[in-house]
Amino acid sequence: MKLLCAIAVLVAALAAPAQARPKVTFGAFDVQTVFSIRKSDNRDEVQYALQLDERCRPRTKEPVFGYWRVFEQGAPPPLLSFSWLDETAYGVVQQQVAAPGPDGVSVVSVMIRAANKRVLELTPMATPQGGCRVEVRTVVFGQRALLQGIFVKLALPFVEYVELRGVAVADGTTLVERVKP
């Protein structure tokens, strides 16, 4: 299984952005970059979007999707949808939209392969300007944290480690956790 994942990461890292794929499109209230994954092999990023309606509620049962922001191809960086190989390395494993709470907020729980299937909780909310924004919470180094970013250190054809960065909800401390796949 580990070898299969390593092969998928290698193929996705080398071939994925270069292949022609459908462009990524967004709705009027979608949050285009909820969180992203930086990689050690180049400047391209895997980014994750959340599809929202005008009340900042998820508009589908599976509202989270990933895509490539290909910085290596110049400015503005093209946005490319995932191939099936990208899904193997960076795809969404599971997502669930909770029923709206008393405040009308629907939290989306999501797990992605590249974050070692750690649960990320996405909380959408309205902005004063009439748009939507999202807070992402997870556990980093054993503490509840607001996610700041994910970094994948590649040692092709393997992943050396995945680094999660966040700010502790309890006291604002910066947290960094490196996880071996």
| Residue pLDDT, tens place only, 139-158 | 999 999 999 999 999 988 88
Q: How far is CA 82 from the centre of its chain?
A: 12
Under 8 Å between Cβ of 79 and 122: no
Q: Which residues of the chain have pLDDT under 70?
A: 1-21
Domain borders along the chain are 2-179
Average pLDDT, the chain: 87
In tens, the pLDDT along 23-53 reads: 899 999 999 999 999 999 999 999 999 999 9
Pairing of strands 31-39, 143-155: parallel
